[in-house]
Amino acid sequence: QGFDVSQAQYSFAIQIKNTIPGVIAAEWKSPFDLWVEADGVDQAAARNIALDVIFAGKELLQQSFCVHVHNGDFIQIASQCWSYP
């Protein structure tokens, strides 16, 4: 993949998968891009998942990042970014 996932990023991806309803998988595709698979969601549900991930990540990751929600094909349905102060 060309970059190293930090321990915080690795743990966060697991937590997202285990705690946010509808999330099947979470995978870092770059140091700042987390792709979240949520099977069968529409755009509104995907947007809500992205916002939930951002909310959780603000405290836990302490870094800027973007969330991209997809249905398993890595075609983005919704995305949200957050800039760490």
Residue 39 confidence (pLDDT): 87
Instruction: Note the pTM of the prediction, 2 decimals.
Output: 0.94
pLDDT in tens, the chain (85 residues): 689 999 999 999 999 999 999 999 999 999 999 999 998 999 999 999 999 999 999 988 989 999 999 999 999 999 999 999 8
Task: Tell me which DSSP letter residue 22 carries.
Answer: T
Which pair of structure tokens corresponds to residue 25? 């998988």
The token duo for 76 is 């983005």
